[in-house]
Amino acid sequence: MGTTAEIINPIVLFDGECRLCNYAVNLIISEDSYGYYKFASLKADVARGYLAKEDIDPIKIDSLVLIKEDHVFIKSKAVFKILETFSLKWRWLLIFSYLPTSITDYFYDIIARNRYFWFGKSAKCEIPTSDYLRRFLD
């Protein structure tokens, strides 16, 4: 596996057991008609490899992670970077990116802490169709 600087397509690392996270992945796929994003569960070996290179403990990470070019974005910064590539019906949410990261991450953390309670757990990653399997790295 190469360094994160060698990554051509951005990679979204997510909690495969989280229904909210699976919904987010499905939303990204629906907004990404060119197949720009690739995906991996945070528990996958490929995700652990990328996180280890960035000195991020894969056991302690409780966030969506975006690896894009030579940068790693977590929490609200990852969400905002992904939203930048969405259609206008979603990009209006970028107005919140002008708030300090401490504030947007505060709300991100509240959702992250309660995601299983509010949205439930999935036994497996809910991929919309088999056509999308090629976009998953694990």
Residue 83 located in a structural domain: yes
**Do 75 and 107 form a contact (C-beta atoms < 8 A)?**
no
Residue 127 located in a structural domain: no
Distances (CA, A) of 97 to 40, 67, 75, 138: 25, 18, 12, 30
Residue 73 located in a structural domain: yes
Residue 134 located in a structural domain: no
Q: Which residues pair with 121 in a beta bridge?
A: 18
What is the pLDDT at residue 137?
84
- This prediction has a pTM of 0.86
Taking 3-state DSSP, the helix, strand and coil percentages for the chain, each rounded to the nearest 5, stand at: 50, 15, 35
**Type of residue at 71:** H
Count up the domains in the chain and report the number: 1
Residue 25 located in a structural domain: yes
| Beta carbons within 10 angstroms of residue 12's beta carbon | 27
pLDDT tens digit sequence for 63-89: 999 999 888 999 999 999 999 999 999
Q: Give me the domain span that covers residue 96.
A: 4-122
